[in-house]
Amino acid sequence: MRPFALAAVLSAVVVASAKQIVITVGDPLSSDNATTVFRPAEVKANIGDVVLFNFTQGNHSATQSTFASPCIPAHDTNVTINGFNSDLRPTNNGTAITNLPVTITTNDTIWFYDIATCAEGGVGGININDSSTETLEGFERNAIRLNGTSTSSSSAASATSTSPSGTSSGSTASRTPTNGSTNAAERVVVRALAAAVPMALVAMLL
């Protein structure tokens, strides 16, 4: 079998074996618990599978993020990640009028959140590593603890903190010498001249 024919057969096999995994996105019908905005909140998917976010209730999103910053788009905290982002999708009650298909291209864990409920624990994950300390429960706790903010905000604030004089801490600023330092410099110059004059006179007499 020719190489291109073999590649075509293999790709056809992959397509045939790929499956669609549906995650329903919307206000829970009988609960105010934001952690149920994604149903299910955790799924397993193989490379080539399509995870379909199906928006059915309310006004929500499916936005990829990272474990450390649950409520911030992944690309904002790591420019190497071109994560998916549905933005807010308003829907009519009980009517699936919009969806977001996401084709899985990695076996790594993919974290995601809902813009509207993230700070209350509206998050989920794809292919969460069962042997890792990064769990869905921990991701939910991070989202609630950070209340929709980034972990880098506090460090950025400390890096740009100002000193009492108004200059950034850690930065160097030129300063004008005080009168005391100027007078000291003048005294050094006067002493040098005083020492040089007698030597010049001696040289002239020789």
What's the pLDDT tens digit per position in 154-171? 333 333 333 333 333 333
**Position 21 pLDDT exceeds 60:** yes
pLDDT of the residue at 17: 74
Query: Which has the closest alpha carbon to 122: 97, 92, 142?
Result: 142
pLDDT of the residue at 186: 45
Integer Cα distance of 198 and 190 in angstroms: 13
Domains annotated on the chain, with CATH: 7-151 (2.60.40.420)
Mean pLDDT confidence for 194-206: 47
Integer Cα distance of 96 and 94 in angstroms: 7
Integer Cα distance of 102 and 115 in angstroms: 18
pLDDT of the residue at 158: 33
Q: How many helices (H) and strands (E) does the chain have?
A: 5, 10
pLDDT, one tens digit per residue, over 39-96 is 999 999 999 999 999 998 889 999 999 999 999 999 999 999 999 999 999 887 666 6
Integer Cα distance of 43 and 52 in angstroms: 11
pLDDT, one tens digit per residue, over 99-130 is 999 999 999 999 999 999 999 999 999 999 99
Residues ≥6 apart with Cβ < 8 Å to 108:
127
Burial of 53 (0-12, 13-18, 19+ CB in 10 A): buried
**Structure token pair of residue 166:** 């108004």
* SS3 of residue 138 by DSSP: helix
